Structure 1
Amino acid sequence: MKIRYILSLLITILLILTSCDSGSVTDTDENEFSFDHEINPGQSATEFLTDDDFERLVIQVQYMQGYEPTQEGLQNLESFLSDRLNKSTVTIMEPEEIPASGESSYTANDIRDLEREHRTQFSSENEIAAYFIIVDGEYSESDVLGIAHFNTSMALFGPKFNEVSSGIGSPSKEDVETIVLRHEFGHILGLVNNGVDMQTNHQDTDNGRHCDNDQCLMFYAFRNADLFANIFGGNIPELDENCVADLQAVGGK
């Protein structure tokens, strides 16, 4: 009897240790959904590009007073994503106004804190969520129109859009929004060399995670307010063949 008891005790301990070492979820929570929205841009590229884990995409847009995005800009973003992502639906929620912060400039950490305070739409089973926030100040580090600050999150800097789209001969606000919204989402999709491997080397290493083709949507100047007007030729830039090949290599269209 004593030997049987000892054997039974040893088996019980072994089962407990095996369960702890595996790191797997327990039966009670194995079906719970979990997705990290606070990792680096580009790290969720395949989740956006393919329908392996998520068949649908929903995008939440929030803006500070005076900086509501145009419907044309959002519609153009939706068409761009529908063309490149394997999703049954791409839905952009009605833009929502949030209180103005009244700051002249914002750091990336400021933007992240604002998202944590205001964002309400997150990924759920079979639906991945992305997020845009449009703030009432400029970016603290450089003269940029937008940034991608998390794996599903982007920020636009409202005053810079007004600056670029004002004056005779300037591009329209709709065109500026279209380009910058698509450009920043390109970084979320892993471009350039930012989570998706390049099929051909086309990174402009002098300007970070950008394409070396000055006609490509992912060219660095399309996010810089001081260069935008000089490079914009009146046509909305598309992804070049190298960028498209990168997306298609991991399941995009």
Structure 2
Amino acid sequence: MLIGGAAVLVLLALCGLAVATLLQNQTNTPPAALPSDQPVVDQSAAADRSDLDSRDTDQSALTVKEVFPGKQLVPSDGGQTYQVLKTQAGTDCTVAATGEIGDLLVRLGCNQVVRATLRSPNGDYLVTAGLLNLTDAASAQRARDRIRQLLDERQGRFQGMVAGDGTEAVAKAAARVGWQVRGHYIAYCLVTRADGEQINSADAKTRDILYDMIEVYLNRGVLERRANGGVANQPTVSPTDGTASQSATRDRNPSGN
């Protein structure tokens, strides 16, 4: 009995040692995979977007290939086709706007314009549209707020770009113009009748063209792609826009010939 009791005590002692060792190992070894309520952060997601609020965070210059890549432009799936007649990219923003508007853009840091002249799907309208590259969102907003006043006071105008014979009206005729700010860019569009006649203020087709070019194509298309393909992940300011009329000019040599 004494020998049997001693054996039991030894066995219990050994089992206790094994349990203690097992518990020690569990304490010192981190769990391999524990369930967690924490969301998994995709580190690559931060590199899929670009902050358009400043050229400091959106450093790549615009190109014609990015903004107007082909001879035809379809603003949306299933939409009508605009014919691209001429494209231009440059560092002189005064080719896109004359007078005080051009001076304003320069003062606010505009260093690039990419634009194109197009013919509307029905051929009745000529369009010059493009993007102006300003220093930051604050500069773009200041330009937006001042442009309408300057147009109303006839202190400047957006300038259409002639694209060959039969397109002179885009630089000289009375026009409807629209503009919209997103980040440090101003998207703008100028619409004239191809025959040079005055556009009625209630012309629904002109409103459709302004919407197609500024909101659908340049904002949701070109700038959205740029925002999704950059190097930072910051919220984008909601776009704001304006429209106005500008009178005809008969004695000015059009820019961009």
The alignment's TM-score, normalised by the length of structure 2, stands at 0.29
Look at both structures and tell me which one has the larger radius of gyration over its CA atoms.
2
TM-score, length of structure 1 as denominator length: 0.29
Task: Name whichever structure is richer in strand by fraction.
Answer: 2
